[in-house]
Amino acid sequence: MKKHNFNAGPSILPREVIEQTAQAVLDYNGSGLSILEISHRAKDFQPVVDEAVALFKELLDIPEGYSVLFLGGGASTQFCMVPYNFLKTKAAYLNTGTWAKKAIKEAKNFGEVVEVASSADANYTFIPKDFTVPSDADYFHFTSNNTIFGTELRKDPVVGVPVVSDMSSDIFSRPVDVSKYICIYGGAQKNLAPAGLTFVIVKNDAVGHTGRTIPTMLNYQTHIDAGSMFNTPPVMPIYSAMLNLRWIKAQGGVKEMDRRAQEKADMLYSEIDRNKCFVGTAREEDRSRMNICFVMAPEYKELEKEFLDFATAHGMVGVKGHRSVGGFRASCYNALPKESVQALIDCMQEFEKKH
Ligand X SMILES: *Cc1c(COP(=O)(O)O)cnc(C)c1O
181, 165 in Cβ contact below 8 A? Answer: yes
17, 52 in Cβ contact below 8 A? Answer: no
Question: Helices (H), strands (E): how many in the chain?
Answer: 9, 14
Q: Which of 21, 118, 151, 169 binds ligand X (CB under 6 A)?
A: 169
In the bound state with ligand X, the residue whose beta carbon lies nearer, of 4 and 329, is: 329
Query: Which residue from 333, 154, 165, 176 is spatially nearest to 248, judged by alpha carbons?
Result: 333
Q: Are strands 145-146 and 151-152 parallel, antiparallel or unpaired?
A: antiparallel
| Residue 162 within binding range of ligand X, rule CB under 6 A | no
Q: Rounded to 5 degrees, what angle do the CA atoms 102, 107, 111 make?
A: 155
Gap between the Cα atoms of 21 and 43, Å rounded: 19
Stretch in the footprint of ligand X (CB under 6 A) among 70-78, 108-116, 130-138, 227-235: 70-78
Q: Is 190 known to be catalytic?
A: yes
Q: Which of 138, 166, 170, 258 is catalytic?
A: 166
230, 239 in Cβ contact below 8 A? Answer: no
CB of 17 to ligand X, least distance (A): 19
Residues 6+ apart with CB under 8 A from 49: 70, 227, 228, 229, 233, 238, 242
In the bound state with ligand X, the residue whose beta carbon lies nearer, of 187 and 321, is: 187
| Residue 95 within binding range of ligand X, rule CB under 6 A | no
Q: Which of 4, 141, 190, 246 binds ligand X (CB under 6 A)?
A: 190
Q: Which of 20, 67, 147, 240 binds ligand X (CB under 6 A)?
A: 147
| Residue 166 within binding range of ligand X, rule CB under 6 A | yes
Query: Which residue from 352, 322, 315 is spatially nearest to 337, judged by alpha carbons?
Result: 315
In the bound state with ligand X, the residue whose beta carbon lies nearer, of 331 and 340, is: 331
Q: Is 166 known to be catalytic?
A: yes
Q: Which of 170, 190, 258, 264 is catalytic?
A: 190
Q: Is 170 known to be catalytic?
A: no
In the bound state with ligand X, the residue whose beta carbon lies nearer, of 20 and 145, is: 145
| Residue 76 within binding range of ligand X, rule CB under 6 A | yes
- The residues carrying an active-site annotation are 99, 166, 190
Residues near ligand X (CB under 6 A) are 9, 74-76, 99, 143, 147, 166, 168-169, 187, 190
